[in-house]
Structure 1
Amino acid sequence: MIPLSLAQIAAVTGGTVCGDPTLVVTGPAYLDSRAPHPGGLFVAIAGERADGHAFAAGARAVLGSRPTGRPTVVVADPVVALGRLARHVVAAVAPTVLAVTGSHGKTTTKDYLAALLPGAVATAGNQNNELGVPLTALRLRPRDEFLVLELGARGVGHLAYLCDIAPPHIGAVLGVGSAHVGAFGSLELTAAAKGELPAALPGAGVAVLNADDPRVAGMPTPARVLTFGLRGDVTWRDVRLDRLARPSFALGYAGAWQPVRLRQSGAHQVVNAAGAAAVALAAGGDLPAIARRLGAVERASPMRMAVSRRDDGPIVIDDTYNANPESMRAALRALVSIGRGRAGRTVAVLGEMRELGPASAAAHAEVGAFARAAGVDVVLAVGAAAHPAGGIGLGDIPAAVAWLEEHLGPDDTVLVKASRAAGLDVVARALARV
């Protein structure tokens, strides 16, 4: 973070200083007292399960809602104050802000984009909410040129709030799908929420929109529009998958084509890579360099189509960070593609997809039907909420691990996928043992 005294932080956030107002914060802001940043600002939040103020003893400086015994800027609401502080730092550093949102694929696209802009400050993992976005922005240093943000939303108005914290110059909407439809209420409201990003762009900015998604392609924006997709300005052709379902393709823009070979599994990664390429082009990148850098990207965020081979033979695909019907289908296609070149079975270990509301049972049933139609040999539905997917219904994670230990063969290929809260990463880690 740019150096700021507690007096300056108080002025920005509307707080008061308890302690030395001349004390200067030089490190990033952080929430976890167990992982402090040297010279940083500990943000103490009173949550339902823990009160951050109780863990402030080792902090150099604190942003909280009451005194802590450490030098503290006391504010009415630390979350709101954190956003105000981030807005001040973004304005002071003045980087080009690039934001990515969508119902699926945004974390991988953000990871690609960060790799296309060496030195960019970028969202870690999927810290894409009212805490993660300002924490990311507060990592800016005085000479940083690019800020790459993943923006998530749980309802209408959320993206507008995040865009006020870090006003974007270039914003990409990857797609509108059924993820979180239980929270939004409908696909129409989901589209309205995602549309807050292009609406927030300045006239001199660029809206990067998915030409193949009708809910996205026509989103209103004052900015110039650059599309990506099979029908987009940035497009692709000649997609081929290797034995681990890693795509090779030609990336095209303005009549020029460049070869790309990705290191991530799944044909759907082509869309993510093209979306990132479009944003990088809008930021002034050139196509040959973008294509070259895409091919060099290693896996950045964990538990997303992480493919590993055990010493005793089975291939394990860990895609347990999140799940919705669209990403389930993409992962299942990758499972079948990888398994096609092997002698064993394809096994899909599927847990609950959260935040689908009343459509949950039908959505799980549709995913199960898709898996069987796609040629998946065995479907394991873990947890009661996932049982509508059919196949072999298992009650909990230990039951899934026990079934796999008993039945998994050396030539089998296994996909483990669910929403993060379902906890199936435990299954993936148990499977991936050496």
Structure 2
Amino acid sequence: MKVSLNDTGTLVATGYAIDSREVRNGDLFIALPGDHVDGHDFVKQAFENGAIAALVERKIPNISGVQIVVPNALSALQDLAKAARLRWGQTVIGVTGSAGKTSTKENIATLLSCAIPVSKTIGNFNNHIGLPLSILRIDEASKAAVLEMGMNHSGEIAQLCEIAKPQIGVVTNVGYAHAENFDGTDGIAAAKKELIDSLPADGVAVLNADDPLVAKFGKDFAGKVETFGLSNAAKTRATNLTYNSDGAQFQIEGQIFHSKVPGRIGVLNITAGVAVARMWGVPLRQLSDAAHQMELPKMRTEKLERNGVTIWNDCYNSNPDAAKAMLDLVRDTAHGRRIAVLGEMLELGHWAEALHSQLGLYAVESGFSVLLGIRGAARFTIESAMKAGLSARAACFFESPEEAGEYLKSIAEPGDTILFKGSRGTRVELALERFLS
């Protein structure tokens, strides 16, 4: 959305960027200082690329262009977003959870757009920097914005809500993502609940009825509570589920839905989107048609076929709940041998050994006959799988993803289904690239 940068309105920003390489004509460049890169070093490049002004903490000499000096560039960015959100004045839908935030955000935006113009978080811009940028990039014609909210510490979602002022809050689940900063799931649940606690008295909490911790969030909420899920407790409930490698089929109140996004987690995420879109009166038949067209971004439940091998590329990120969800997907859809290439799950702190070990056992119990672990605590996943009965040839640990991909070449056979999953920092996609090379 456009924001005036002076009292006369003669200087108006039409876009916003924190990376000088992404600056377009008319953008406001925000020079954020960082641990490794300082945005102030790129102010000149931003102006060369068409920035109308730069928000800086210190004026850069010998540069032609309007520089707005502020005590703290990040705080200024957040204040600017807060003011822009209030001026825009339409509905904000906040989405959080330990797994499935981005997919659920995409589903809500797609289904709700059947009724009204919708803006959304681009990619996973869901933190104290990304969320303000997402707000500033809302199309002024939109009647709603779907904003993803992430966190790795208590209080972060409350801070994001202070900027975004959501009227609707959607919580997908509570798991062990970012567990290193919490004592357990109760602490993580309290952090996720900050979204619901931040809603106004006439707000709407949209909660996963299948997650016991999330379901409790509506107990003391003064506003309206909507629930989604697969259980009888859900108001918007998916029934008669069937899964295959090409997606899933299910029903909501008798209306058949076909989804290209497979697995239980995919159905849950679509059901959350349906629960929100129905608030605007969108008919289930129309939502069914829209859901059938939805596809996920690269490295998120991406299906490939190579030489008779089915590959699931879910390398974008990982945590214990997301990893189990993908193991479930392969378990429910694969007909041949099941193989999992699992990278280390980061930010688990003192929970790392136990949670990686649990994942190894879960994989074996889910019928995986080959398990490859990559880096760090993934060693515990492999050790656990061997204790559960896998041989040393079937359960292997590698320090690099490239080594894992090379080993996989030597054992993969037509008919296999292979899952690639790991935290962003583990770069499991390199194992996939080596396997395909």
TM-score of the aligned structures, taking structure 1 as reference length: 0.90
SS in 1 for 2:227: strand
Deviates more, 1:331-340 or 1:258-267: 331-340
> Matched residues, percent identical?
35
Q: How far has the Cα of 1:275 moved from its partner?
A: 1.2
User: Which aligned pairs between 1:154-165 and structure 2 lie closer than 5 A?
Assistant: 154-165=152-163
Q: How far has the Cα of 1:170 moved from its partner?
A: 0.9
Separation of aligned partners in 2, 1:55 and 1:185: 41
Provide structure 1 residue ranges, at least 5 long, that are not aligned to the other structure: 9-19
Separation of aligned partners in 1, 2:166 and 2:280: 12
Separation of aligned partners in 1, 2:413 and 2:142: 50
Q: Which residue of 2 aligns with 1:423?
A: 427
Provide structure 2 residue ranges, at least 5 long, that are not aligned to the other structure: 383-394
Separation of aligned partners in 2, 1:174 and 1:338: 23
| 1:80 maps onto 2:67 in alignment | no
Q: Which residue of 2 aligns with 1:313?
A: 308
- Select the residue among 36, 51, 55 that pairs with 1:63: 55
Q: Which residue of 2 aligns with 1:41?
A: 28
Q: Which residue of 1 aligns with 2:101?
A: 106
Name the amino acid aligned to 2:357. A
User: Which aligned pairs between 1:231-250 and structure 2 lie closer than 5 A?
Assistant: 231-244=233-246, 246-250=247-251
Q: Which residue of 2 aligns with 1:224?
A: 224
User: Which aligned pairs between 1:31-430 and structure 2 lie closer than 5 A?
Assistant: 31-57=18-44, 58-59=46-47, 60=51, 61-68=53-60, 69=63, 70-118=65-113, 119-219=117-217, 220-229=220-229, 230=231, 231-244=233-246, 246-252=247-253, 257-299=254-296, 301-310=297-306, 312-340=307-335, 342=336, 345-390=337-382, 391-430=395-434
Is 1:30–1:40's contact at 8 Å kept on the other side of the alignment? Answer: yes
SS in 1 for 2:313: strand
Q: How far has the Cα of 1:306 moved from its partner?
A: 0.6
Is 2:109–2:118's contact at 8 Å kept on the other side of the alignment? Answer: yes
Name the amino acid aligned to 1:156. S
RMSD, aligned CA: 1.7
Separation of aligned partners in 2, 1:206 and 1:117: 15
SS in 2 for 1:416: strand
Name the amino acid aligned to 1:407. I
SS in 2 for 1:42: strand
SS in 1 for 2:372: strand
User: Cα 1:302–1:275, aligned 2, differ >3 Å: closer, same or farther?
Assistant: same
Deviates more, 1:60-69 or 1:370-379: 60-69
Name the amino acid aligned to 1:415. L
SS in 2 for 1:372: helix
Separation of aligned partners in 1, 2:93 and 2:415: 43
Separation of aligned partners in 1, 2:310 and 2:210: 33
Name the amino acid aligned to 1:392. C
Q: How far has the Cα of 1:408 moved from its partner?
A: 2.1
Separation of aligned partners in 2, 1:63 and 1:393: 47
Separation of aligned partners in 2, 1:33 and 1:240: 47
SS in 1 for 2:285: helix
Name the amino acid aligned to 2:328. R
TM-score of the aligned structures, taking structure 2 as reference length: 0.90
Is 1:201–1:222's contact at 8 Å kept on the other side of the alignment? Answer: no
| 1:24 maps onto 2:12 in alignment | yes
Separation of aligned partners in 2, 1:282 and 1:66: 47
Separation of aligned partners in 2, 1:425 and 1:188: 33
SS in 2 for 1:259: strand
User: Cα 1:283–1:331, aligned 2, differ >3 Å: closer, same or farther?
Assistant: same
Is 2:261–2:267's contact at 8 Å kept on the other side of the alignment? Answer: no
Is 2:243–2:333's contact at 8 Å kept on the other side of the alignment? Answer: no
Separation of aligned partners in 2, 1:277 and 1:432: 37
Is 2:373–2:381's contact at 8 Å kept on the other side of the alignment? Answer: yes
Is 1:177–1:187's contact at 8 Å kept on the other side of the alignment? Answer: yes
Q: How far has the Cα of 1:283 moved from its partner?
A: 4.1
| Deviations 1:364-415 (CA, angstroms, capped at 9, x unpaired) | 1111111111111100011132011112111211211211222222332211
Is 1:350–1:417's contact at 8 Å kept on the other side of the alignment? Answer: yes
SS in 2 for 1:195: helix
Q: Which residue of 2 aligns with 1:17?
A: none
Deviates more, 1:70-79 or 1:355-364: 70-79
Q: How far has the Cα of 1:178 moved from its partner?
A: 1.2
Separation of aligned partners in 2, 1:333 and 1:80: 42
User: Cα 1:268–1:242, aligned 2, differ >3 Å: closer, same or farther?
Assistant: same
Aligned length: 410
| Deviations 1:227-274 (CA, angstroms, capped at 9, x unpaired) | 112121110110001243x1100013xxxx311011112222111111
Separation of aligned partners in 2, 1:214 and 1:413: 32
User: Which aligned pairs between 1:4-23 and structure 2 lie closer than 5 A?
Assistant: 4-7=3-6, 22-23=10-11
SS in 1 for 2:21: coil
